[in-house]
Structure 1
Amino acid sequence: MRPIKYKQKDIVDLFYKEKVLTKKQLFEMCGFSNMTSWRMLSEHGYISSYNFNAKYYTLIDIPVFDKNGLWSYRKVRFSKCGSLTNTVIELIFNSRSGLEKNELQKFLGVNPIPILSKLYHKGKLNRKKVDGLFVYLQTDEDGQQTQLSNRRADTIKSSQERLPEPERIIAVLVELIQRVELQPQQLARRLARKGIQITLAEIQAILQHYQLTKKNR
């Protein structure tokens, strides 16, 4: 019996059905060798995943990318930029206020720390500490300053939105006047003993709003 011969349309139809495939799956389903699979994928246009060591593929016209140029199918993730390295650079350079690692991980769904460290030490990204966290920035000096200014403005706005009512703000400030070395946890405990309930997030918001973080005291 002669083997079934598959054409490019067959591989395209298979992708439209399955959305995401590995070369091994293509071989098992259609009998394509790696070389044949590569040629047919290249002719149509494809993207490889930026997780799972880039072993998954999808056709260029299948993903519906979000505003960050990202798309996922089940646990497999793809980017308009292709590789994770290019994606991280693109996200940071286009970010209004830079990105710290947790923000990037939320977007990407993977741990970005190894890539961030590599890109920083190669001079592809810059970074600055803001409120104790490294914020990764573009390399252009003017662009960095714009991102940092936006980050500080966003932090102030966010802290203002989290500020408690004036009575509890005054209570925190009075405690700090009496004992300037107190940390947020200590402030919360002291106020709780006086019947004033306040969260650590609210105390942090007060400290940031009045520029009373530890380094400024």
Structure 2
Amino acid sequence: MRLSEEVKKQAREKLGALTVFTLAQMMEVLSCSRRTAQRILKEWGCVTSYNANAAYYALPEVARFDSDGIWRHGPARFSIFGNLSETVIGLIQRAPEGMSADELSQVLGVRMGSFVKALVESGKLFREKIGHRYVYFSMDDQVRAAQTRKRQEMHWATRGLSQMDAISVLVEFIKDPTLGPAQLAERLRPRIPTVSEGAIVYFFEKHGIDFKSKKKRFVRSHKASSPSCRSCCSSGAGP
């Protein structure tokens, strides 16, 4: 069935006013068959919802995607990436620290547990356990390496340094106060494999330690802020 351009123009205006519509609504507005409606959807470049079994559509000029590339309107969810699989992969690919199933669910508004696990099993995502949760990463080796490192730093920053690890950090920092958190972590890693830049930054910020200070200034301010190195480290211990 061929429709005139005028009919399609009027139908597009009506559907745009609905913001989000179904295939049945489009068929009704155009008074056309399912096949014709599907052809026009493609012709117009309409976006399809990644939820509700792709039951919702919207005109491209109507969609308003957020910084994650997601647009929500009523019960419908749309993505710049495409369907749900493409959206999950797209989000994880550009996430600096990968994403857990819970984090994906919060962004997408869809429960992710078994779905994202299936993507791992089909070789589309990589999964690794960080702390007590599984995190999903890109299949690209270079991207995944950066994501994993960032996620581990986040984990250890949240966990904090143990008392003994904190003492080791302070000792190294007093020896050479020109070292930054990344350099301290690198120097200590042979002895403390779990130490990370994030954990050191978290520890320094928590205790008001300026790691850009000179040695004398650091020692003076540290003594003034706490009665002993041991008490400072003790309060910075992990959970």
Runs of 4+ in structure 1 deviating by more than 3 angstroms, as ranges, are: 156-160, 209-212
Contact in 1 for aligned 2:7/2:30 (Cα 8 Å): no
Aligned-partner residue type, residue 19 of structure 1: T
Name the structure 1 match of 2:143.
143
Query: Structure 1 residues 88 and 10 mapped into 2: Cα distance closer, same or farther (>3 Å)?
Result: same
Name the structure 2 match of 1:62.
62
What is the Cα deviation at residue 211 of structure 1? 6.2
Query: Structure 1 residues 211 and 122 mapped into 2: Cα distance closer, same or farther (>3 Å)?
Result: farther
Secondary structure of the corresponding residue to residue 14 of structure 2: helix
Secondary structure of the corresponding residue to residue 96 of structure 1: coil
Name the structure 1 match of 2:47.
47
Name the structure 1 match of 2:118.
118
1:36 to 2:59 alignment:
no
What is the Cα deviation at residue 81 of structure 1? 1.1
Q: Distance in 2 between matches of 1:158 and 1:211?
A: 8
- What does the per-residue CA deviation read over 1:130-156, in whole Å, with 9 as the maximum and x for residues that have no partner? 111100011122322211111122233
- What does the per-residue CA deviation read over 1:63-114, in whole Å, with 9 as the maximum and x for residues that have no partner? 1111111101111000011100000000011110010000000000001223
Aligned-partner residue type, residue 94 of structure 1: R
Name the structure 1 match of 2:108.
108
Q: Distance in 2 between matches of 1:10 and 1:32?
A: 14
Task: State the TM-score, normalized to the length of structure 1.
Answer: 0.68
What is the aligned residue count? 161
Aligned-partner residue type, residue 131 of structure 1: G
Aligned-partner residue type, residue 43 of structure 1: E
Name the structure 1 match of 2:87.
87
- What does the per-residue CA deviation read over 1:22-45, in whole Å, with 9 as the maximum and x for residues that have no partner? 111222344221122122222221
Secondary structure of the corresponding residue to residue 148 of structure 2: helix
Aligned-partner residue type, residue 41 of structure 2: L
Name the structure 1 match of 2:185.
none
Deviates more, 1:15-24 or 1:96-105: 15-24
1:20 to 2:16 alignment:
no
Q: Percent identity?
A: 31
Give unpaired runs (5+ residues) of structure 1: 161-205, 213-217
Aligned-partner residue type, residue 92 of structure 2: I
Secondary structure of the corresponding residue to residue 78 of structure 1: strand
What is the Cα deviation at residue 159 of structure 1? 4.4
Q: Distance in 2 between matches of 1:150 and 1:135?
A: 12
- What does the per-residue CA deviation read over 1:158-179, in whole Å, with 9 as the maximum and x for residues that have no partner? 445xxxxxxxxxxxxxxxxxxx
Q: Distance in 1 between matches of 2:89 and 2:20?
A: 25
Q: Distance in 2 between matches of 1:109 and 1:83?
A: 14
